[in-house]
Amino acid sequence: MRYLTIALPKGRLLEPILKIFAEAGVTAEGVSEDSRCLVFTREELGIRFVLAKPADIPTYVEYGAADLGVVGKDVLLEAGKDLPELLDLGVGGCRIVAAVPAGSGVTDVTQLETGSRIATKFPRIARSYFNQRGLRVEIVKLNGSIELAPGVGLAEAIVDLVDTGRTLRENGLVAVNNIAYVTTRLVVNRSSYKEEHERIAGIVGRLRAVSPVSQAARQPAATPASVAQAASMGPSQVTRLAPAAPAAQGAPVTPVSQMAQKAVGANA
Ligand code: PRP
């Protein structure tokens, strides 16, 4: 029996993800953010855990270097990979929003001037969102601290993740449009899913039973057929399916703890 390899993301989501895996009886012993070792083998489970940068996890799974991967929907949308999602683990819930300086008078991105600059670490998601609305803007790719950009004249608006809303507030910004709700997903390599369907389905079943969004009615068990269907859905379609209702100017942002149920709706 070969090892099933599961790629887990380094960073702040690692701990809640490990907790779900432990509750599901798929304990990733020894895996820790502080460890310098990146591969952890559980002989008795036939599972190997690997720790990777979140943005790289879709690549490991796409190439089959990992059979399964745990990764945020934001990363999946941005990566634009054709990876079937098996489960919403319901952690890391937050929103991707468009935000502008408070007091700018802009209450919707359609009011931005043509050629406005939009700073983001999600250029694919941002471009797709603005293109779909026929808005001609310049997307400026940054790697972090996105909320800094409008205040120093780099951009008129940003597209970024919002969790508690504190970073927006403290930098004088308000969310004007919701682009997507994101949570953490379990994704699979398509060949692995065919070849190791029984073992993978077993792990998915255990995780589903303990996942915060485990209501069976909302998450029907994935089958090879449904996975094939999901796989045929391109990233642009997924983006189109994400909710895009305007956010009320200065509206309070829902914290992570209250996002999990809402986020299920984005898992269409
Ligand atoms: C993320 C995100 C926002 C912030 C949102 O940044 O990009 O900046 O968290 O959280 P809040 O709504 O609770 O304030 P992260 O901490 O990952 O750092 P980065 O800006 O360097 O990407």
With a cut of 50, say whether residue 268 has pLDDT above it: no
| Distance, CA of 204 to CA of 75 (rounded, Å) | 21
pLDDT for 85: 97
pLDDT for 20: 96
Distance 162 CA to ligand 1 centre (A): 7
Sign of CA dihedral 150, 156, 159, 165: positive
pLDDT for 15: 95
Q: Is the CB of 133 under 6 A from ligand 1?
A: no
Q: Is the CB of 85 under 6 A from ligand 1?
A: no
Distance 167 CA to ligand 1 centre (A): 7
Q: Is the CB of 153 under 6 A from ligand 1?
A: no
Spell out the alpha helix ranges (H) of the chain.
14-23, 57-62, 73-79, 123-132, 148-151, 166-170, 190-195, 197-210, 224-231, 235-241, 260-264
pLDDT for 173: 98
With a cut of 70, say whether residue 120 has pLDDT above it: yes
Q: Is the CB of 74 under 6 A from ligand 1?
A: no
Q: Is the CB of 162 under 6 A from ligand 1?
A: yes
CATH class of 94-181: alpha beta
Tokens of 212: 């915060």
**Most ligand 1 atoms within 8 A of CB, residue of 125, 145, 161, 166 to mutate:** 161
| Distance, CA of 62 to CA of 51 (rounded, Å) | 16
With a cut of 70, say whether residue 126 has pLDDT above it: yes
pLDDT for 82: 82
Q: Which of 28-37, 65-74, 187-196, 225-234 is the least confident region?
A: 225-234
Percent of the residues in the chain that have a pLDDT greater than 90, as a whole number: 74
Stretch(es) of the chain classified as CATH 3.40.190.10 = 4-93+183-232, 94-181
Q: Identity (one letter) of the amino acid at 199?
A: R
Characterize 231-245 residue by residue with b for buried, 16 or more Cβ atoms within 10 angstroms of its Cβ, and e for exposed: eeeebeebbeebebe
Nearest CA, atom 1, ligand 1: 161
Distance 163 CA to ligand 1 centre (A): 8
| Distance, CA of 259 to CA of 82 (rounded, Å) | 26
With a cut of 70, say whether residue 241 has pLDDT above it: no
CATH class of 4-93+183-232: alpha beta
Q: Is the CB of 165 under 6 A from ligand 1?
A: yes
CA-to-CA dists, residue 245 to 5, 96, 97, 109, angstroms: 38, 12, 10, 11
* Range among 106-115, 245-254, 256-265 rated most confident: 106-115
| Distance, CA of 68 to CA of 57 (rounded, Å) | 9
Q: Is the CB of 147 under 6 A from ligand 1?
A: yes
Confidence of residue 64 (pLDDT cuts 50, 70, 90): very high
Question: Mean pLDDT in the chain?
Answer: 84
Spell out the alpha helix ranges (H) of 152-189.
166-170
pLDDT for 35: 86
pLDDT for 228: 42
Percent of the residues in the chain that have a pLDDT greater than 70, as a whole number: 79
With a cut of 60, say whether residue 264 has pLDDT above it: no
Distance 46 CA to ligand 1 centre (A): 36
List pLDDT tens digits, range 152-199. 999 999 999 999 999 999 999 999 999 999 999 999 999 999 999 999
**Nearest ligand 1 atom to alpha carbon 167:** 14
pLDDT for 34: 87
pLDDT for 93: 94
Q: Is the CB of 157 under 6 A from ligand 1?
A: no
